[in-house]
Amino acid sequence: MGNNNYIFLILIASIGLFVVGLIYGIEKSKDNAIETTYGIDLSGGQYVRLVFIGSSTCFYANNTETIYMVSNIKNKLKTVLEKDVIKFISTGISYDRSTTIAINYLKKTGPYDELLVGAGAFNLGIINYVSGSSSTPKVLIFHELYETDLSGLNINNLHSSQSLLKTYTGQFEIRNLYESIKYKSRDDLLMYFGINK
């Protein structure tokens, strides 16, 4: 009988430790998750894409003013374009080699619709969006056109085009962008970026 009590106690203790570990793991994963709540309208048509490129080790890409300005530029574009025929997509890219560090860094200016993190200078976002100058912070504004037949998760007959409208490199140029668009209406904003509906 004593042996059965011992086995029963070990079983209860094991279950207890399992439950505690499970709860801890769930809570820990919430801390590491990045918010991506915008949700992209995949119906096709015209899009404006903001691409932010930064690094957790760059002072100018990581100070509170830059973080504030990038967040507000992104939110201004999303708000102004939200109810328009032109849709909005945001992409966050980090030069950091560690995906964990990069995700934690991009949380400061997030949420984003798309993240390209890890691998340092070999990050596909860095390779595709940075030509020549690797300086951060950087904001790129693109005009994109997508024509597609969307069927569930399958995208058929995708035709796309992407035009770079503006590039802002460094904190001072990003500040100029922030100041330039802060009070612009939708039509003024589209004209500022040279977008025709």
What's the chain look like in SS3?
A: CHHHHHHHHHHHHHHHHHHHHHHHHHHHHHHHCCCCCCCCCCCCEEEEEEEEEECCCCHHHHCHHHHHHHHHHHHHHHHHHCCCCEEEEEEEEECCCCHHHHHHHHHCCCCCCEEECCCHHHCHHHHHHCCCCCCCCEEEEEEEEEEEEEECCEEEEEEEEEEEEEEEEHHHHHHHHHHHHCCCCHHHHHHHHCCCC
Q: Which fold has domain 45-193?
A: Glutaredoxin (3.40.30)
Q: What is the domain partition of the chain in residue ranges?
A: 1-33, 45-193
Q: What is the pTM of this model?
A: 0.78
pLDDT at 185: 87
Higher pLDDT, 100 or 152: 100
pLDDT of residue 128 exceeding 60 = yes
